[in-house]
Amino acid sequence: MGQGRQRHRHAPGLVVALALLACNVAAYAARAPQYPARPIRMIIPSPTGASMDTLGRIVATQLSAAFGQQVIADNRPGAGNVPGTDLIAKAAPDGHTIGMIFTSHTSNASLQKLPYDPIADFAPITMVTSAPLVLIVPAASGMTSVKDLVAAAKARPLNYGSAGVGSGGHLAGEMFRWMTGASVTHIPYKGAAPASIDVAGGQLAFQFASQITIQPLVAGKRVRMLAVTSAKRTASLADVPSLAELGLTGYEFLNWFGVAAPARTPRDIVALLNSTIVKALQMPEVRDRLTGDGGEIVGNTPQEFTEFLKRDIARWAQVIKAAGIKLEM
């Protein structure tokens, strides 16, 4: 009984102590610097005007409006996006430096020795959009199906073009070669558009290119679309089948774009950036601008984006090894 009364006598003191602790925590929170405390740097590892630059600036504009702080686009192109991506990885993890990452973020892990770890050195925020490539052939080629293309490539060697070694069009083409057993040779170009023009002219047998790149040639009936590289048909090209639908089970290639911060960026800041970007992606005017090239809005969670990156790295490691792709720097 005496011990019970003794504990009872000390209980009010414990309550007071807890109350004081709560007050101190609240006072500390009130004194803590607000985020963002200054302008945010958005590193974009691509030239001005490229797809990644366009998407990054749209995201930057929306974040600026939501936070009341300027989000400044900083273009750092070159060398397969590696130097710019390295700047993201090595920035201070305080939320005031973020950046865009692209499909090459996962394929580069198997193509070259990187100055950063594509998973451990980043805090993924969200994937913004993803878009398939389109398999095209010359309109005058007489090929009207993927079956025709594969048959032609098994009868004689064919050339295909892309924006360069390690580009999306190159990887998609090598995956096609690997899965079909077609005899094809990759011809690298300085950009996807020049390669598309040579497809239209018959100098190349086929190409995997973005919808926005080939639109003028499709409209002019100079090239024919045979398939898309997504697992299923896309809303913007509902009449074009997917390669998986046509029998290449498991074939999928998507050009995706996302936002990431340096590793060890506080979770609450990552969560705030994620919720702000995802909310902006649902705005009609933003959706219209982001889906103009056939892309689809994603807006997933940091955890979902991280798991996607891990799966994509593993998938490209398999494809690149099997296809014997070498990056020529």
Structural domain boundaries of the chain? Answer: 40-130+256-323, 134-237
Please list the pLDDT of the chain residue by residue as tens digits (329 residues). Answer: 444 444 444 445 444 443 443 443 343 334 346 899 999 999 998 888 777 888 899 999 999 999 999 999 999 887 778 899 999 999 999 999 999 998 889 989 988 899 999 999 999 999 999 989 999 999 999 999 999 999 999 999 999 999 887 788 998 999 999 899 999 999 998 888 899 999 999 999 999 998 888 989 999 999 999 999 998 898 888 999 999 999 999 898 988 999 999 999 999 999 999 999 999 999 988 888 887 667 789 999 999 999 999 999 998 888 888 777 766 54
CATH assignment, 40-130+256-323: 3.40.190.150
The pLDDT of residue 319 is 82
pLDDT on residue 327:
61
Inter-residue contact 89 to 116 (CB < 8 Å): yes
Residue 5: the pLDDT is: 43
DSSP letters of 99-143? EEEETHHHHHHHHS--SS-TTTTEEEEEEEEEEE-EEEEEGGG--
* Residue 293: per-residue pLDDT: 63
- Statement: 134-237 belongs to CATH 3.10.20.600: no
131 Cβ neighbours under 8 A, 6+ residues apart: 210, 211, 234, 254, 255, 256, 293, 294, 295, 296
DSSP 147-160: HHHHHHHHHS-EEE
3-class state of residue 225 by DSSP: strand
| CA torsion, ordered 135, 141, 144, 145, to nearest 10 deg | -50
Rg (CA), the chain: 25
Residues 6+ apart with CB under 8 A from 180: 150, 153, 248
pLDDT number for residue 292:
66
- Give residues with Cβ within 8 angstroms of 111, minimum separation 6: 80, 166, 320, 325, 327
pLDDT value at residue 269: 96
Burial state string for 201-225 with b = 16 or more CB within 10 A and e = fewer than 16: eeebbbbbbbbebbeebbeeebbbb
* Structure-block tokens of residue 320: 């690149």
3-class SS of residue 255: strand
Q: How many CA atoms lie within 13 A of 209 on its CB side?
A: 32
Distance CA 19, CA 14 (A): 9
Compute, in degrees rounded to 10, the torsion defined by CA atoms 18, 19, 22, 23.
-140
The span from the CA of 70 to the CA of 60, in Å, is 8
| Three-state SS at 91 | coil
CA dist 256 and 220 (Å) reads 28
pTM, to two decimals: 0.76
d(CA 267, CA 36): 14
Are the folds of 40-130+256-323 and 134-237 the same?
Answer: yes
pLDDT of 33: 60
Are residues 171 and 316 in contact, defined by beta-carbon separation less than 8 angstroms?
yes
